[in-house]
A and B are shown apart, each in its own frame.
Chain A
Amino acid sequence: MNEKAGTQMVMLGNAAIARGAYEAGVKVSAAYPGTPSTEISENLVKYKDELYCEWSPNEKVAMEVAIGASFHGVRAMASMKHVGVNVASDPLYTIAYSGVNGGLVIVAADDPGLYSSQNEQDSRMVARAAMVPVIEPSDSEEARVFTKRAFEISEKYDTPVMIRTTTRLAHSQCIVNLEERQNIEDKPYVKNIAKNVMMPAMAKARHLIVEERMKKMSEDGYDLDINKVEYNDTKVGVITSGIPYQYVKEVMGDASVLKLGLVHPLPRRLIEEFASKVDKLYIVEELEPVIEEQVKSWGIECVGKELLTVQGEYSANLLRKALLGQKLDIEPAADVPARPPILCPGCPHRSVYHVLKKLKKHAAGDIGCYTLGAVAPLQVVETSVCMGSSISTLHGLEKAKGSEYVKDWVACIGDSTFLHTGVNSLMNMVYNKATGTVIIMDNSTTGMTGHQDHAATGLTLMGEETYMINIYELCKAMGVKYVREVDAFDMKGLEEAIKEETARDAVSVIIAKSLCALHKDFVPKGKCKVDKDKCKKCGMCMASACPAIHKDPEGFAETDETLCNGCGHCMQCCPFGAIEFIPNN
Chain B
Amino acid sequence: METKNIMIVGVGGQGTLLTSRILGNMTRKAGYDVKISEVHGMAQRGGSVVTYVRYGDKVAEPIVEEGCADVLIAFERLEALRYAHFLKKDGVLIVNDVRMDPMPVAIGAAEYPADIIENLSKKYKVISLDAKAEAIKLGNARVFNTIIIGVAAKRMDFDKEAWIEVIKETVKPKTVDINVAAFNLGFDFI
Contact = CB atoms under 8 A, between A and B. Distances in A.
Interface of A: 10, 12, 35-36, 38-39, 115-116, 139, 168, 171-175, 243, 246-247, 249-250, 315-317, 328-334, 336-344, 369, 372, 375-377, 448-450, 542, 545, 547, 550, 562
Main secondary structure of the interface of A (DSSP, over half): loop
A98 B136 CA distance: 62
B79 interface: yes
Interface string B105-120: 1110111110000000
A330 B66 contact: yes
A38 B111 CA distance: 37
B62 A172 contact: yes
Interface string B132-143: 100010000110
B12 interface: yes
A341 B44 CA distance: 7
Nearest to A560: B100
A414 to B, nearest CB: 14
Interface in B71-124: 78-79, 81-82, 84-85, 100-107, 109-113, 123
Contacts of B142: 562
Given A174-B62, A330-B67, A550 B101 contact: yes
Given A173-B34, A315-B63, 14 more contacts: A172-B36, A174-B59, A247-B60, A249-B61, A328-B67, A334-B81, A336-B82, A339-B11, A341-B12, A342-B47, A376-B104, A377-B107, A547-B46, A547-B106
Contacts of B46: 339, 341-344, 547
Nearest to B35: A174
Nearest to A337: B110
Given A340-B103, A344-B13, A249 B60 contact: yes
Contact of A334 (B13, B37, B85): B85
Contacts of B110: 337-338
The 4 closest A-B pairs by CB, nearest first: A116-B41, A35-B41, A341-B47, A339-B102
Given A329-B67, A339-B48, A35 B24 contact: no
A461 B61 CA distance: 33
Contacts of A317: 65-66
Interface residues of B, number: 55
B30 interface: no
A36 B40 contact: yes
A343 B46 CA distance: 7
A168 B38 CA distance: 8
A337 B104 contact: yes
Contact of A547 (B34, B100, B113): B100
Given A339-B79, A339-B103, A545-B103, A115 B38 contact: no
B28 A175 contact: yes
Interface centre among B38, B40, B44, B111 (most CB of A within 10 A): B40
B104 A246 contact: no
A333 B47 contact: no
B42 A171 contact: no
A247, A340, A344, A369 interface centre (most CB from chain B within 10 Å): A340
B162 interface: no
Nearest to A372: B45
Nearest to B32: A175
Contacts of A336: 78, 81-82, 113
B36 A116 contact: no
B85 A330 contact: yes
A112 to B, nearest CB: 13
B9 to A, nearest CB: 10
A448 B48 CA distance: 16
B130 interface: no
28 contacts: A10-B24, A10-B36, A12-B38, A35-B40, A39-B40, A116-B40, A116-B41, A171-B38, A171-B40, A175-B34, A246-B61, A246-B62, A249-B60, A250-B61, A316-B61, A331-B67, A331-B84, A336-B81, A338-B103, A339-B103, A340-B103, A341-B46, A341-B47, A342-B45, A344-B13, A344-B46, A376-B103, A550-B106
B102 A338 contact: yes
Contacts of B82: 333-334, 336, 339
Nearest to B25: A10
A337 B111 contact: yes
Nearest to A318: B65
A337 B63 contact: no
Nearest to A547: B46
A243 B82 CA distance: 26
A343 B41 contact: no
B78 A337 contact: yes
Contacts of B34: 10, 173-175
A168 B67 contact: no
A34 B64 CA distance: 26
A247 B25 contact: no
B135 to A, nearest CB: 9
A175 B39 CA distance: 19
Contacts of A171: 37-40
User: Which interface residue of B60, B82, B101, B109 has the most chain A CB atoms within 10 A?
Assistant: B60
Contacts of A247: 60-61
Given A10-B25, A246-B60, A328-B67, A545 B45 contact: no
Contacts of A175: 28, 33-34
Contacts of B111: 337
A247 B13 CA distance: 29
B101 A173 contact: no
A173 B61 CA distance: 11
B64 to A, nearest CB: 10
Interface centre among A139, A333, A341 (most CB of B within 10 A): A341
Contacts of A331: 66-67, 84-85, 123
B79 to A, nearest CB: 7
Contacts of A545: 103, 106-107
A247 B59 CA distance: 11
A36 B41 CA distance: 8
B35 A173 contact: yes
Nearest to A518: B13
B61 A315 contact: yes
A192 B85 CA distance: 63
